[in-house]
């Protein structure tokens, strides 16, 4: 149980129990008014009626205040608990391995921390209060009913017990139906997220109809699942109401017919009818509460499924965690194998030694293991066998804060947040100022580019940096890395072609950024490999060649073949550019 629930639940339970017991005062007061103030031996006694009525009114007001207090306290407690759960789920998702994020649709994980927790919030704000008060109210009402007539109480109880097997049968189907609803909601969110993020591609290729059909099918599946879950609630609710009404009618008929044999007078019978009506309210709510509870339980299990997903990249204990040295960091990769959860090895027997302050280019065909190798250097995943040593320390023993401070990876998509250029650069280091962001731009020689933007450093970049080109997003990402000032910089170059001016700015920025630190670049450009101190050539998950650009070209191996392909593509591009009119 969360700390929020442990602190707040006793108070809520006490207030709820008081409110539940307080509701029994009204039927008792009605019986006293009838027996002692209206039809008693002394006839009508207005003084008694007024006193008892005022007392009943006071009791009702106190019960209403207690109920309001319990409800407000419950909502606060529930929101605090769910806030903690949402944060824990969000943090856990960010600690999961790349394999989990790759295998899971983005919308599914988003649903776990949004719609699923919202389903639990709805339950906590109403269903939890119902489960707190109603059982006590039912038991207390039955106890008072027994005081008036155990025979009539037994009659009412037996009629209600007959519906319990049916309710259990419905409950099993409700929980399965609501589990399907949570799956369908996550599926719909995944399709919607994918459709929105790929809007430009959808319009460019005329996929609007096909994508709309796929999204419509996802929405229709969610609708069908929700209707399937709703039909059980719609089936249960009238059944419970019918049984409660039959029980009330049976008690009333039996009480009137055999009042003398049962030893219950007119006032007692009226009070008993009030008590049966009071009993009907929580019982009639069972159908709706059950539906609400099953939805919350289904959502709870989905969220718990995320929290129970093992974290494969386990951080060291704080007492055992080690720091990384300052300055450029050397890298030793020793006998590393790596495979994702399903499939063959992606890296096989990788042995690499990178000196501090070196500028290294990693090249290879698509699928050769370049990006996976770069991710291991940033500890976005751990090797299956072998070890990655940075600055003389096994990465698995490095304190997470030290790793994030000293090792930075710039992904090829240059992900940016929906903020200004300045804000995105300042994300590079906690506490970075506007002056730090401006200094990073100047140090990388990007001032002319920034000054050419509509609002300079305050230019909004849009969602995921959509207002900037691929190359411009990389420029901002490089400036962000400059602010971070890591000892090891890992750069996964963008595969998309950029205009010559941006290409030149990128080359100059990367040259400035490499000064004073170790740089490992997953190279997709000929110029990056040509100026590197060391080139690592990957093929089918292995480092098949390593050396300088000049030596590898002369060797006539895999790199020489890649180099010829690069040169050919570059010449073809240059010819096409010259052939364009104007």
504-522: pLDDT as tens digits: 777 788 888 888 889 998 8
Cβ-contact 294, 175 below 8 angstroms: yes
Domain 3-307 CATH class label? mainly alpha
293-303: pLDDT as tens digits: 777 888 888 88
If we measure between CA atoms, which residue out of 434, 412, 552, 566 comes closest to residue 491?
Answer: 412
pLDDT above 90 coverage of the chain, percent: 16
| pLDDT number for residue 361 | 92
> What order do you get walking across the sheet with 385-390 strand by strand?
347-354, 331-338, 385-390, 393-394
| pLDDT number for residue 9 | 62
What is the enclosing helix (H) or strand (E) of 410?
strand 407-410
| 114 confidence band (pLDDT: 50, 70, 90) | confident
Phi-psi group of 431: left, alpha or beta (phi > 0 → left; psi -120 to 50 → alpha; rest → beta): left
- CA distance linking residue 508 with residue 126, whole number of Å: 61
| pLDDT number for residue 201 | 65
| 198 confidence band (pLDDT: 50, 70, 90) | low
Which of 121-135, 274-288, 510-524 reaches the highest mean pLDDT? 510-524
Cβ-contact 274, 33 below 8 angstroms: no
Strand partners of residue 336: 350
Give the CA diameter of the chain: 122
308-327: pLDDT as tens digits: 888 778 888 888 889 999 88
| 576 confidence band (pLDDT: 50, 70, 90) | very low
| pLDDT number for residue 105 | 62
57-67: pLDDT as tens digits: 888 788 778 77
Helix or strand or coil: residue 328? coil
Domain with CATH 1.20.1560.10 in the chain: 3-307
Domain with CATH 3.40.50.300 in the chain: 331-579
If we measure between CA atoms, which residue out of 116, 121, 236 comes closest to residue 181?
Answer: 116
431-484: pLDDT as tens digits: 889 999 999 999 888 898 888 888 999 999 887 788 888 788 888 888 998 888
- CA distance linking residue 506 with residue 498, whole number of Å: 10
The yes or no reply on domain 331-579 and CATH 3.30.360.10 is: no
């Amino acid at each position: 149980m969360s700390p929020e629930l442990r602190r707040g639940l006793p108070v809520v339970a006490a207030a709820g129990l008081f409110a539940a017991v307080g509701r029994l005062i009204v039927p008792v007061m009605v019986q006293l008014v009838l027996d002692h103030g209206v039809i008693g031996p002394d006839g009508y006694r207005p003084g008694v009626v007024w006193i008892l009525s005022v007392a009943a009114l006071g009791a009702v007001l106190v019960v209403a205040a207690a109920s309001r207090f319990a409800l407000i306290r419950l909502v606060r407690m529930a929101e605090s608990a769910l806030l903690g759960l949402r944060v824990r789920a969000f943090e856990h998702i960010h600690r999961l391995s790349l394999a989990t994020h790759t295998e899971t649709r983005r919308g599914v994980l988003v649903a776990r921390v949004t719609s699923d927790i919202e389903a639990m919030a709805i339950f906590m704000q109403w269903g939890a209060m119902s489960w707190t008060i109603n059982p006590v109210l039912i038991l207390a009402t039955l106890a008072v009913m027994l005081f008036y007539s155990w025979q009539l109480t037994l009659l009412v109880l037996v009629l209600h017990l007959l519906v319990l097997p049916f309710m259990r049968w419905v409950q099993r189907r409700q929980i399965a139906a609501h589990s399907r609803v949570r799956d369908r909601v996550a599926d719909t969110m995944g399709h919607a997220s994918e459709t929105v993020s790929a809007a430009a591609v959808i319009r460019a290729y005329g996929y609007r109809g096909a994508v709309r059909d796929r999204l419509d099918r996802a929405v229709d599946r969610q609708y069908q699942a929700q209707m399937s879950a709703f039909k059980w609630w719609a089936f249960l609710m009238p059944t419970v109401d019918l049984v409660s009404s039959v029980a009330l009618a049976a008690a009333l008929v039996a009480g009137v017919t055999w009042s003398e044999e049962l030893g219950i007078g007119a006032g007692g019978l009226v009070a008993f009818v009030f008590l049966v009506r009071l009993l009907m309210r929580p019982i009639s709510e069972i159908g709706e509460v059950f539906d609400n509870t099953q939805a919350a339980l289904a959502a709870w299990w989905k969220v718990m499924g995320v929290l129970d997903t093992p974290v494969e990249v386990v951080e060291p204990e704080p007492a055992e965690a080690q720091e990384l040295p300052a300055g450029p960091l050397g890298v030793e990769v020793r006998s590393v194998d790596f495979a994702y959860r399903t499939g063959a090895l992606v890296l096989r027997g990788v042995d690499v030694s990178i000196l501090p302050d070196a500028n290294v280019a990693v090249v290879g065909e698509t699928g050769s293991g370049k990006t996976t190798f770069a991710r291991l250097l940033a500890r976005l995943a751990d090797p299956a066998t072998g070890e990655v040593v940075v600055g003389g320390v096994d990465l698995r023993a490095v304190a997470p804060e030290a790793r994030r401070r000293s090792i930075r990876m710039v992904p090829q998509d240059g992900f940016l947040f929906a903020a200004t250029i300045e804000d995105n650069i300042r994300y590079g280091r906690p506490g970075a100022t506007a002056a730090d962001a401006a200094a990073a731009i100047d140090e990388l020689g990007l001032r002319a580019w920034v000054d050419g933007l509509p609002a300079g450093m305050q230019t909004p970049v849009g969602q995921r940096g959509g207002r900037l080109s691929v190359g411009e997003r990389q420029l901002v990402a490089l400036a962000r890395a400059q602010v971070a000032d890591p000892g090891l910089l890992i750069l996964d170059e963008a595969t998309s072609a950029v205009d010559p001016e941006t290409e030149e700015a990128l080359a100059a920025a990367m040259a400035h950024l490499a000064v004073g630190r170790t740089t490992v670049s997953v190279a997709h450009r000929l110029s990056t490999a040509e100026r590197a101190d060391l080139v690592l050539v990957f093929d089918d998950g292995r480092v098949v060649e390593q050396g300088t650009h000049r030596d590898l070209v002369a060797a006539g191996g895999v790199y020489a073949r890649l180099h010829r392909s690069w040169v050919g593509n570059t010449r073809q591009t240059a010819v096409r550019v010259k052939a364009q009119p104007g």
